Amino acid sequence: MFGRDEKVSAIRLTAAQYLILGIFLVLAYGLWRLQVMQTDLYATLAEKNRIRNVPILAPRGKILDREGRIIVDNYPSFSALLLRDSSRDLNADTDLIAQGLHLDANEVRARIRHFAAMPQYQPIFLKEDITPDEQAFIEAHRNELPELDTIRADRRLYPRNGFMAHLIGYVGEVTEDMLNQPQFELYSPGDVVGVSGVERQYNNALMGKNGARQELVNSHGREVGLLGETDAIPGKQLKLTVDIDLQIAAEEALEGKNGAIVAMDPRTGEILAMVSRPTFDPNDFAVRVSRDEWNKLVTDPDKPLLNKAIQAQLAPGSTFKIIMSVAGWQEGIAQDLHVNCTGGAEFYGRRFGCWVKSGHGPVTLEKAIYQSCDVFFYTLAEKLGIDRIAKYATALGLGQKTGIDLPNEVTGVMPSEEWKIRNFKQKWFAGETISVGIGQGAVAITPVQLMRAIAAISMGGRLVVPHVVDPQELPSGYVETSHVTETKNVPIDPNGWTFITDAMSRVLLPEGTAPSAHIPGIDIAGKTGSAQIVSLATRAKFKNSEALNQNGWFVGFTPRRNPDVIVCVLFEGGEHGKLAARLATQVLKAYVDKQRRVPNKMVDAPKSDGKVDMGALWTAPEGDKLEGGRFSLILPKKPSVLATAAPGMASTEYLVPNTGKMQ
Amino acid sequence: MSRYVSYRDFDWLLLVLVLMICGLGVMEIRSATMHTKFAGSHIKQIYWVFAGVGMMFLISLVNYQALLDRIHWFYIAAVASLMAVMIFGQKYLGARRWIKMPGGNHFQPSEWVKLILILAVAKYFADLRHRELSWPDFMKAGAIVGIPMLMVLAQPDLGTALTYIPIAIMGVFLGGMQWKQGLAVALLAAVGVGAVFFTPRVHILKTYQKQRLTSFLQPEDDPQGSGYQVEQSKIAVGSGGLWGGKGSQTHGAFLPVPQTDFIFAAFSEEHGFVGALGVLLLYFIVLMRLTQNAQTAPDRAGTFVVMGVVAVLSFHILVNVGMVVGFMPVTGIPLPLMSYGGSSVLFMFLALGMVMNVRMRRFVN
C-alpha cells in the first residue's frame, strides 16, 4: 500500500519519453526516405501528374487540279478526346460518355482497351466531327467528366456524290495491318492517313506533322497553365495533273453507267481525268465508316470501291486489233494481207465467226481496222503466232503495271507460250491464238494499260508512264514516284503507225463502226471494241441476262497526228463499242472546246490576284447537316455558280502559291 | 486547505511553442486553400486558436482535482451525448457523428469525450492503491475506455475511436501494468485485428474502412481508389525535396484535403525536409515539455492527466504524419494544432488547459 501522493514510476515515465523519441525518429526517417533519398522519383511523378500532352492536329494538304482549283478541302470540326491521365475511373464513366456522345458503350470500352498500351499522356479520339449538342454535352460536363475534351480537327471535305472518288481516295484511321507495314512505321495508332487513291499514294506529302501542347493541369484535369507548345506543320498542298473541266465531262458521260473513263495527255502521261463507276462518297468515311455501310460497299457486285481504270482486268475486245495491226505491220505481214471475209472462217478445225454475220467481203488492213473485221485478225493472228503477238503487246505495256502513281494497280494478263506453261503447266494450243487476235481469250488488260499502249502507237512508239501528279510539283526529296517521267521508245515503222492511225480516224466516219459518235470539226482517231465476258454459248444459256452483256470499249485520241489527248472508255454491259465511243467523244469534245475557248461547263480559273474562295466545287455542310456527314457535289451548271463561297467560310481566304506553271 | 495559484506558474514556454505550431498551421492553411472554395479558412482557424487559448485559460482556473471528484457525472454525460448522436445525429457521408446545435453549429461529442476519458482514466488509476495492476483493475480500465470507444466505432468513426486507445494504454502502462498483462493484451489485439480483417462474417469494419487501412501497404495497386490519397501524399512530400518546392501537388489539388488531414504533406511539399523536420522538432519539444510537467505534477492524478494528453497528442502525430509519409493507413485523423478545424483546435487547447491546470498547482500541498 502507498499513499495518495505516491509518485508514478519515474522509470515508466522515462520509458514513455523514449517511446515518443522512437516514434519521432521513425517519422523523421519517413520524411528522409521520401524527401532526400527518393526526391527525384517523386519530383518526376509530380511533374507527370500535372503535365498533359494534347496534340495539335496538322491539317492535311489540299488537293488541287492542274489549274490550281480546289478539289479536296478541309473544314473545321471538333473531335471528342478522352484524356486518360486524369485520376478518373474511366470504366465507371463510360456509360455516361457513350450516352452523351451517342456512341455504343461497348464500343467505347473496346476503344479504351485497344489503346491501353499507348502512353497514358496520349489522349484517345472517341468521336470525330461531333455535333453541336455533343459539344455542348462535353462543355456541360466539365466537372463530372473532366476526362472529356474537345479538339479542333480539320476534316476532309471531298466533292459530293463520289466525284473523282477513286482517284482521290479517302482517309481513315491507320489500321493495325498498316502499322505493321514498313512504309507506315512512323505512324501511331489514331493517326489519320490516306487509305486509298492519291490520299494514300501521296500521304507523306499531304499529311502534316502534328504539334503538341504541354498543358499544366490540376487533379480535375483543368488546364491551369501552358508549359510549351510545338506548332503543327500543315501538310503540303498537292497539285494533280487532272483538269476539273475534263473530269466533269467524264463524270457526266459515265453517269448512271458502270465502267471507267480515263483521259491522258499522250505526250507526257499526265492523267487529265479518271472516272470509275459505280462510285462511293468518301465523305461517308472520311474518318471512320460504320460496319454496315462498309459491308454494303464491299459486297456490292458492281464493286464501287474498285477503281476500274486501274483495277479492272478485262478482255480488250476489238481494241486489241490495233496492237495486232502494229505487230502484223512490224513483222511485214499485215500490210500485204488480203482476206475475204464471209462472216466467219475455220481455223484448226473450229469455226470462228465474224461479228458481221454476212461478212465484210474482201478486206485489207485499213478496212479491217475501221470495220473491225474479225476474220482478218484471226488470219493475222494465225500467221503471227502467240509469241510474236505477245512480244509487241508486252513491249507496249500490256499485261504489266503501267507504273501509275496510284496504289493497288493490277497487272492484267498478256498470254504467251511461256506464260501458259508457267501458270498452267500446259502447252499453248495454236487454236487459242485465234481468239487472242480479236482481244478475247486469255488477254486481260486494264483501261489505263490499253490507253497507254494506244497512246504509244499514236505517238510513234513513245511509251509514257501515266501519272496524276507531276513530280516537279512535289516537295523536294519526294522520290517515290520520280519514275513517272521516264519514257520508253518502242520501235514502230513510221509508215505503220501513220497508216494505222489514219485507218482509226475512219472508225467514226460513216464507213466505220461508230459513225454515230462522230463530231463534226473534231479529228478523232479511235477504235471500238466489244468484249465478251462469257462465251456466246454460255450467254445463250442464261437467256441474254443483262449481267452478262458484253463490255463496250473505245480508245480514241485527237488530233490524229501529235495528239493532245487520249481517252479510253470501258462501258460495262455497253454491248457495243459505238456506245462507248459516244461517251469518249463527249470527253474529247469537252477538251477541244476548252482549247478553242468555246463556252462550256467550265470551272473558272483562279482570279488574277491569286486568291480563291473556299468551297469552289461544293458547299460546306451547314450546321444541321453536319450529323450525317454527307455532302453532295454541286456539278457546275454555269460558270458563275462555281466560285461562290460557302456559308460560314466566306471570310476564309488563302493564297494559291504562284508556281508559274499553271496550264 | 488553502491553495496558491498563480499565472507565474503557467507554462508560458509551452504556450509559445504551441502557438508557433498553430502559426505554421495557419500559414499552410492559407497557402493550401488559396484559389479554392476554402479560401479564407486560415482566418477562421485564427479565431478558433484565439477561442482555444481563451478556453485554455478558463479551464486552468478550475481546480482539476475538483473536476476529478465529479468525473463520474462527466463520464455519464459523455456516454449520454454519444447516445444522443446515435439517436439524433446528423447523417453525413454515411456516418452519424454530429449533433446539430441551435444556431447552425455542429457539435461532435466524440472530441470532448476524449478529454473526459483522459480525466476518467487519470482518476481511476490515481485512486488505485496497488503498485501492480490486478486483472480486475485492468478490465475495469479497459471498460472505461472501451464503452465510449465502441459507441464511436458504431457511428462509424474509426479514426476517433482509435485515438481513445492510447489513453487506455498510457493509463495501464503508468498504472503498473505487468509484463504478462501487456503480452496478453497484445496477443488479444493481434487476434482481434486478424478476426476483423480475415473473417468475412464479422462486420465490425466496413469494406471501405478495411480498404483504407490496407491500401497504404500497396498504394500503387489502386492508384484511383483508396491508395490514391497515400500515393499523392507521398508524391507531395517527396517532390518537396530538401528545401521545398513549387507545391504543384498542393495547388494543383492532387493532394486531397491539404488543409486538414494532409496539411503536413502540403507543408512538407512547400518547405521540404528541413521545414518538415523543424515542425517535428517543435512537436517533440512540446511533448518533452509535457512529460516534464507530468513529472512535476502535485499528485498521481495530475501525472496521469498530463500523460493522457501526451498519449493522445503523440498518437495523433504518429498516425497523421505516418499516413502522410506512407507508413500508416488513411484514417482521417488530423494533425493537432496544425490541421484546420474547430473541434480539433478546441480539444487541443482544452487538453493543454488541463496540463496548465496541473502545473499551476504543482507547489500546492
pLDDT at residue A128, rounded to an integer: 78
Contact A524, A505 (CB under 8 A): yes
DSSP state, residue B217 = T
Contacts for B171 with CB less than 8 Å, ≥ 6 apart: B121, B122, B124, B125, B141, B145, B304, B308
Distance CA A477, CA A639 (A): 38
Find the CB nearest A219 among B126, B170, B254: B254
Residues in B touching A225 (Cβ below 8 Å): none
Q: Measured between CA atoms, how close is A143 to chain B, in angstroms?
A: 14
A103-109: long-range contacts, CB 8 A cutoff, minimum separation 24? A103/A127
What is the distance between the alpha carbons of residues B334 and B275, in angstroms, rounded to a whole number? Answer: 19
- What residues in A contact B36, CB-CB < 8 Å? none
Output the pLDDT for position B225: 53
User: Is the pLDDT assigned to residue B118 strictly greater than 90?
Assistant: yes
C-alpha distances (whole Å) from B222 to each of A89, B228, B266 are 11, 7, 22
Across all residues in chain B, what is the average pLDDT? 84
Question: Which of A26, A27, A41, A147 to substitute to test the interface with B, most B CBs within 10 Å?
Answer: A27
One-letter identity of residue A497: W
Whole-angstrom distance, CA of residue B305 vs CA of residue B59: 14
| % of chain A residues with pLDDT over 70 | 82
CA angle A235, A236, A237 (to 5 degrees): 120
Chain A residues 200-259 with a CB less than 8 Å from chain B: 216-220, 224
Question: Could you give the CA distance from residue A276 to residue A250 in angstroms, rounded to a whole number?
Answer: 10
Residue of B nearest to A5 (CA): B299
What stretch of H or E contains A112? helix A105-114
Contacts for A421 with CB less than 8 Å, ≥ 6 apart: A427, A428
What is the pLDDT confidence band of residue A655, given thresholds at 50, 70 and 90? very low
The answer to whether A362 and A338 are in contact (CB under 8 A) is: yes
Find the range with the poorest average confidence among A114-123, A381-390, A531-540, B297-306.
Answer: A531-540
Contact list in B for residue A16 (CB cut-off 8 A) is: 170, 173-174, 291, 307, 310
In angstroms, the separation between the Cα of residue B182 and the nearest Cα of chain A is 14
Cβ separation of A20 and B294 shorter than 8 Å? no
| pTM of the model as a whole | 0.62
Q: How confident is the model at residue B158 (pLDDT cuts 50, 70, 90)?
A: confident
Residue A488, beta-bridge partner list: A463
Q: What is the pLDDT of residue A644?
A: 32
User: Is it the case that residue B139 has pLDDT exceeding 60?
Assistant: yes
- Taking alpha carbons only, the member of A590, A523, A583, A519 closest to residue A552 is A583
Q: What are phi and psi of A571, to 5 degrees?
A: -115, 100
pLDDT at A422 over 80: yes
Question: What integer pLDDT is reported at residue A634 of this predicted model?
Answer: 38
Query: Given an 8 Å threshold on Cβ–Cβ distance, is B173 in contact with A16?
Result: yes
pLDDT of residue A294: 74
Please say whether the beta carbons of A403 and A465 come within 8 A.
yes
* Cβ neighbour number for residue B66 with a 10 Å cutoff: 9
Chain B environment of A23 (Cβ under 8 Å): 314, 317-318
Interface mutation vs chain A, best among B125, B132, B254, most A CBs within 10 Å: B254
Instruction: Check pLDDT > 60 for residue A635.
Output: no
| Average of per-residue pLDDT values in chain A | 81
> Are A50 and B252 inside 8 Å of each other by CB?
yes
CB contact under 8 A, A43 and B327: no
Separation between Cα atoms, residue A452 and residue A458, nearest integer Å: 10
Q: Check B327 against A26: CB less than 8 A apart.
A: yes
What are A130-138's contacts with CB under 8 Å, separation 24+? Answer: A130/A77, A130/A78, A130/A79, A130/A80, A130/A101, A131/A626, A131/A627, A132/A623, A132/A626, A134/A80, A134/A100, A134/A101, A134/A102, A135/A78, A137/A100, A137/A101, A138/A80, A138/A100, A138/A101
Residue A535 is predicted with a pLDDT of: 54
φ and ψ at residue A361, rounded to 5 degrees? 75, -150
For residue B160, what pLDDT band results from cuts at 50, 70 and 90? confident
Q: Using omega within 30 degrees of 0 as the cis cutoff, is the peptide bond preceding B156 cis?
A: yes
Q: Are A452 and A460 in contact (CB under 8 A)?
A: no
Lowest mean pLDDT across A30-34, A326-330, A367-371, B256-260 = B256-260
C-alpha A108/C-alpha A501 separation (Å) is: 62
SS3 B360: helix
CA distances to A67, A90, A336, A354, A495 from A328, in Å: 42, 74, 10, 19, 13
Domains of chain A: residue spans and CATH: 52-164+210-239 (3.90.1310.10), 244-283+306-471+484-595 (3.40.710.10)
The nearest CA of chain A is from the CA of B254 a distance in Å of 5
| Of the listed ranges A130-139, A293-302, A557-566, B297-306, the one predicted with least confidence | A293-302
| pLDDT, position B267 | 94
Mean pLDDT highest for which of A109-123, A173-187, A565-579? A565-579
Q: Which residues of A touch B242 (CB under 8 A)?
A: 35-36, 39
The beta-carbon neighbor of A20 closest among B126, B245, B287 is: B287
Amino acid, res. B30 = R
| CB-nearest partner of B239 from A15, A30, A46 | A46
Our CA-based measurement puts residue B288 at a distance from the nearest CA of chain A, in whole angstroms, of 7
Helix (H, G, I), strand (E, B) or coil at B144: helix
Q: How far is CA A137 from the centre of its chain?
A: 36
Sign, CA dihedral A382-A387-A389-A390, equals: positive
Smallest CA–CA separation between B101 and chain A, in Å? 33
Q: Of the segments A48-62, A528-542, B229-243, which one has the largest average pLDDT value?
A: B229-243
Probe site for chain A from B181, B222, B239, B246 (most A CB atoms < 10 A): B239
- Nearest CB among B232, B272, B291 relative to A13 is that of B291
The amino acid at residue A603 is: V
Is pLDDT of A147 > 70? yes
Question: Least CA distance to B131: which residue of chain A?
Answer: A1
Domain residue spans of chain B: 71-335
Distance, in angstroms, between B128 CA and closest chain A CA? 9
| Angle CA A633–A638–A639, to nearest 5 | 95
pLDDT at A88 over 70: no
Find the mean pLDDT for residues B58-82: 90
Q: 3-state SS of chain A: helix, strand, coil percent to 5? A: 35, 20, 45
**pLDDT over threshold 50, residue A660:** no
What average pLDDT does the segment B98-104 reach? 64
Using an 8 Å CB-CB cutoff, list chain A residues near B237: 31, 34-35, 42
Which chain B residue has the Cα nearest residue A28?
Answer: B277
Measured in degrees and rounded to the nearest 5, phi and psi for residue A608 equal -65, -25
pLDDT of B88: 78
Measure CB to CB from residue B252 to each of A15, A88, A219 and give the nearest one.
A219
Instruction: Please say whether the beta carbons of B110 and B97 come within 8 A.
Output: yes
Q: Mean pLDDT throughout A294-315? A: 84
pLDDT reported for residue A614: 41
- Residue A142 has which C-alpha cell? 466539365
CA distance A415 to A389: 9
CA distance B49 to chain A (A): 25
Using an 8 Å Cβ cutoff, are A457 and A492 in contact? yes
What residues in B contact A21, CB-CB < 8 Å?
284
C-beta atoms of A50 and B365 within 8 A: no
The burial class, CB within 10 Å (0-12 / 13-18 / 19+), for A11 is: exposed
**Cβ atoms of A390 and A179 closer than 8 Å:** no
- As a 3-state breakdown, chain B gives helix, strand, coil percent values, each rounded to 5, of 70, 5, 30
Q: How near does any CA of chain B get to the CA of A189, in Å?
A: 26
pLDDT at residue number A627: 34
**Band (A526; pLDDT cuts 50, 70, 90):** very high
Q: Is A238 exposed, middle or buried (0-12, 13-18, 19+ CB in 10 A)?
A: buried
Which of A7, A26, A35 is the best substitution to test chain B (most B C-beta atoms within 10 A)? A35
A91 CB near a chain B CB, below 8 Å? Answer: no
pLDDT of residue B217 exceeding 80: no
How far does the CA of residue A76 sit from the closest CA of chain B (Å)?
33
Task: For an interface test with A, give the residue of B181, B230, B246, B248 to mutate (most A CBs within 10 A).
Answer: B248
For residue A273, pLDDT over 90 is answered with yes
Average the pLDDT over B353-362 and give the result.
89
Q: How far is residue A51's CA from residue A39's CA, in Å, rounded to a whole number? A: 18
Residues 6 or more apart in contact with residue B161 via CB below 8 angstroms: B110, B149, B150, B152, B153
Return the higher-pLDDT residue of A176 and B55.
Answer: B55
DSSP code per residue over B278-316: HHHHHHHHHHHHHHHHHHT-SSHHHHHHHHHHHHHHHHH
* DSSP calls for A177-238: HHHTSGGGTT--TT-EEE-SHHHHHTHHHH--B-EEEEEEE-TTS-EEEEEEEE--BPPPPE
CB contact under 8 A, A41 and B238: yes
For A292-301, the pLDDT digits (tens) are 777 777 787 7
Chain B residues whose CB is inside 8 A of the A1 CB are 129
Q: List the single residue in A with minimal CA-CA distance to B296.
A: A7
Is the pLDDT at A119 greater than 50? The verdict is yes
